[in-house]
């Protein structure tokens, strides 16, 4: 309901800028690959490659990368829409909300450069909230919504998803079932870096599109 209200407000705002021949009508969600991104003050315009061909879409301003796979929800089609900011008239354009899922990442990110994980040994961080990866995964229920301090090596790094950077850390603890944990942060890092992060343990998070996690660390900061 909240997403629908946001979409309606966004749509009504665009009416003030539409051309005289604008004729909106509703569509189900639209999926596509981002071929081009153009940001203006309040909106992000996306040229998409969909199963039905190419189309333009506009969403509330948000970071989206070329090559991302995105879903536009609560989509409304407008004809002959004039964007004064871009000085461009679109024969047809979709207005809606960008589905907040990790699917909205560059397609190339799914094939990120591999990091050698065979001999990772990172010392446990120091402090009352310090934990190893294995301890956090194994005791996820006990640590739910609690702060933790964790040192590890970044073995996967996907930046700019839903306004955050998504990193997977390993420290050499645990077995194949509990030796890797996802961390979301707004701080920048690099694949292969050894970092110490401070964040909050969350359980059973489902971001949609098949991306669900039994345990992860959110709102993390990378300690200097």
Beta bridge partners of 202: 216
Sorted by where each begins, the domain ranges of the chain are 2-99, 112-222
pLDDT tens-digit series, residues 96-135: 888 765 545 554 444 445 678 889 999 999 999 999 999 9
pLDDT tens-digit series, residues 44-58: 899 999 998 999 998
Average pLDDT across the chain, whole number: 82
In terms of CATH architecture, what is 112-222? Beta Barrel (2.40)
HSE-up (13 A, CA, CB side) for residue 95: 29
The residue to which tokens 């992060």 are assigned: 197
| pLDDT of 173 over the 90 cut | yes
Entry pTM: 0.56
| pLDDT of 12 over the 60 cut | no
Judge if 2-99 and 112-222 fold alike in CATH terms.
yes
* Residue from 144, 164, 152, 146 nearest 197 by CA: 152
Query: 173 and 132 in contact (C-beta within 8 Å)?
Result: yes
Which of the 8 DSSP states describes residue 68?
A: B
CATH 3.40.50 fits 2-99, yes or no: no
Write the CB contacts of 35 (distance below 8 Å, at least 6 apart in sequence): 47, 48, 49, 54, 66
- 20 versus 145: which is more confidently predicted? 145
Q: Six-digit token pair at 130?
A: 């310090």
């Amino acid at each position: 309901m909240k997403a629908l209200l946001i979409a309606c407000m966004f749509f009504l705002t665009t009416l003030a800028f539409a051309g005289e021949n604008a004729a909106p009508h509703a569509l189900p969600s639209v999926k596509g690959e981002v071929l081009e991104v153009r940001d203006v003050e309040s909106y992000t315009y996306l040229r998409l490659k969909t199963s039905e061909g190419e189309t333009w879409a506009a969403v509330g301003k948000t970071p989206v990368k070329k090559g991302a796979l995105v879903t536009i929800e609560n989509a409304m089609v407008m004809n002959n829409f004039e964007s004064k900011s871009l000085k461009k008239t679109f024969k047809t354009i979709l207005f809606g909300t960008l589905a907040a899922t990790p699917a909205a990442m560059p397609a190339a990110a799914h094939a990120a450069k591999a990091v050698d994980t065979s001999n990772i040994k990172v010392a446990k961080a120091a402090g009352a909230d310090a934990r190893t990866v294995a301890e956090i995964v194994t005791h996820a229920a006990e640590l739910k919504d609690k702060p933790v301090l964790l040192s590890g090596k970044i073995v996967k790094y996907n930046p700019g998803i839903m306004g955050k950077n998504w990193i997977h850390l390993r420290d050499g603890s645990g077995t194949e079932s509990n030796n890797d944990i996802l961390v979301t942060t707004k701080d920048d890092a690099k694949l292969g870096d050894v970092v110490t992060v401070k964040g909050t343990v969350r359980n059973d998070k489902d971001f949609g599109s098949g991306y669900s996690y039994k345990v992860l660390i959110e709102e993390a900061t990378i300690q200097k």
